[in-house]
Amino acid sequence: MVEQRVAVRALGHLATYASTFPSVASHGEILELSIQLAMSSLEIVYSHFYQYVDRRLSYHCDLLTRGMGGVEMESRKAEEWASQLQCWSLQLINCFAFKPEFIPTICKPEFLVKLPGMWGGLVNENSPAGIGLLRTICHHKLGRGPVASCPGIIEALCNIASSSDDWQYMAIDCLLWLLQDPNTCHKVIDKAVPALIDLAEIKALGDQKKLGDSIVNVLQDCIQSQGTGRNSVSNHTKELIGELLNSKQRMKWEKNMPKEDLHIKQAAALVVKLEGNSLFSSGNISGAASKYSEALSLCPMRSKKERVVLYSNRAQCHLLLQQPSAAISDATHALCLHNPLNRHAKSLWRRAQAYDMLGS
């Protein structure tokens, strides 16, 4: 365990430099062993150290705790080491993934499907871990095919893209690259579009400016380039993209509307929202959801604070109506509109409840 940790850390450091990477890559077994270690690191630490307290080697214990602390400290540090071992293995694999010739070795289905579940954890909060490696893979044409062929990965990417995770933007990048590739677009579009549409009003995420506009442009290109054959887009997906493009067109129209007209629309939306609140209080949840939908159709696109509340209120209705997927969609939309991004407490709570209802 200790020896593997030291070796993978040292090799990962050497592999990050152009001058020393060829020396690391010349040993073909390093990549294969790193992949195995990334998949089994948690099991290795558990079976070789954590599982049996009375069999722990004293020098392992001393290294973990630096000679201080008892069994509880050893166990906690062992968990941290297991996570580090996995993250450092992924970092080493990521260095190989930048070179197209190593992509086929990395893109084995049994490894790819586990990547979304590999997280850095609190001790490795700066490590993008599995999603970071997936992003590097998806940047290559050779890597996008195997990723698109694993439905479980696409679903996981959609969930991460719709989350408030620090690495949310990496999942969005993966989905956009898959959609922009004519060879993979038809495989992922029906799953990716519902997730991306909820994110289409994000202004900026990290260093990425106008991310929402990029999403809209990619989806528009997808719908224009799709044919009518076996790989054509489903009608439901076409409708979703059509609604998104209509909302963008509505935003352009509103820019040219007199301020008085916008104030009238906003006042009308407020009246309908209050009607929805009244129906909600009286127990007519379905009626309240309809009123919130009507208010959203009236509310000016630039009135983001009001729209955050409307989407979040409708998400609560969906929860009570046992419609978790719709609740997740509305809560995510509210979080993307909120300033600061992803920080609307009620929407975060409602989305968490919806995921719990789904069993996620």
Angle, vertex CA 87, rays to CA 82 and CA 92, nearest 5: 125
In 3-state terms, what secondary structure has residue 183?
coil
Whether a cis peptide bond, with omega within 30° of 0, leads into 340 is yes
Domain ranges of the chain: 1-106, 132-255, 257-358
Give, in words, the CATH class of 257-358: mainly alpha
Residue-wise pLDDT for 260-283, tens only, equals 999 999 999 999 999 999 999 999
Buried b (16+ CB within 10 A) or exposed e, 165-196: eebbbbbbbbbbbbbebeebbbbbbebbbbbb
Please give the Cα distance from 130 to 110 (Å, whole number).
14
List the one residue out of 95, 335, 48, 325 whose CA is nearest residue 199.
335
Any idea which residue has 């997808």 for tokens?
Answer: 222
Phi-psi region of 66 (alpha: psi -120 to 50; beta: other; left: phi over 0): left
Helix%, strand%, coil% for the chain, nearest 5? 75, 0, 25
Residue-wise pLDDT for 189-238, tens only, equals 999 999 999 999 998 887 888 999 999 999 999 988 876 555 678 899 99
User: What tokens does 108 get?
Assistant: 């084995």
Please give the Cα distance from 191 to 168 (Å, whole number).
17
In 3-state terms, what secondary structure has residue 112?
helix
Q: What per-residue confidence (pLDDT) applies to 80?
A: 78
- Computed over every residue of the chain, the mean pLDDT equals 90
Q: Specify the length of the chain in residues.
A: 360
Please give the Cα distance from 78 to 337 (Å, whole number).
41
Q: What per-residue confidence (pLDDT) applies to 141?
A: 95
- Give me the sign of the Cα torsion angle 314, 316, 322, 324: positive
Q: What per-residue confidence (pLDDT) applies to 149?
A: 96
- Spell out, as residue ranges, where the chain has pLDDT lower than 50: none
